[in-house]
Amino acid sequence: MIYARIRLADTDYSISDNFQVITNPEPAELEKIYNTYCVHKQFRSVMPIFPEEYFKNEVLGYYDQDKLVAFSLMQVYNDKNVEAVQFAWDYANPKLHLGIVSLRSECAYYKMRGFDYLYLGEASEYKRQITGFETLGPRT
């Protein structure tokens, strides 16, 4: 697996109108979205998200009108580095394009907060569309 990150100084995105920080997450609501996402993607193996993870990490929500339809689970390592641990979307309205919209919003949000890097996990092809995309090499 090749790992990736976004150098936030290179980005110039805006936070989408349907973005909101979720300060009091409801694990059952998020779990329902996560389950729908995993079924839609037809994942052969799925790592569970434990309820405690919603409270020890930042949860960013994405809405369609007033309904929560997607979220990102973000692990803040320090004041310069954050990782997008998990994204999930119910895909009820594919026109929202939340996969890429969420990444752009997260870049804008964490850049505004003074972070240097947003770590993405695997260097999936669609992530390469984001300005500031970098792959991580081996340790030397």
Can you give the pLDDT at residue 139?
Answer: 83
Rounded average pLDDT per 10-residue block, the chain, 140 residues: 96 97 97 95 92 96 96 98 97 91 97 98 91 92
In this prediction, residue 19 carries a pLDDT of 97
For residue 109, the model assigns a pLDDT of 98
**The predicted structure's pLDDT at residue 119:** 98
Task: Please report the pLDDT score of residue 140 as a whole number.
Answer: 78
Q: Domains, the chain, ranges and CATH?
A: 3-135 (3.40.630.30)
Task: Please count the other Cβ atoms lying within 10 Å of the Cβ belonging to residue 15.
Answer: 17
Both tokens of 98, joined, read 């939340």
Spatial separation of the C-alpha atoms in residues 20 and 23, rounded to whole Å: 9
pLDDT at 89: 95
Q: Is the pTM of this model over 0.85?
A: yes
Sheet holding 81-89, edge to edge: 19-22, 58-64, 67-76, 81-89, 117-122, 3-7, 133-135
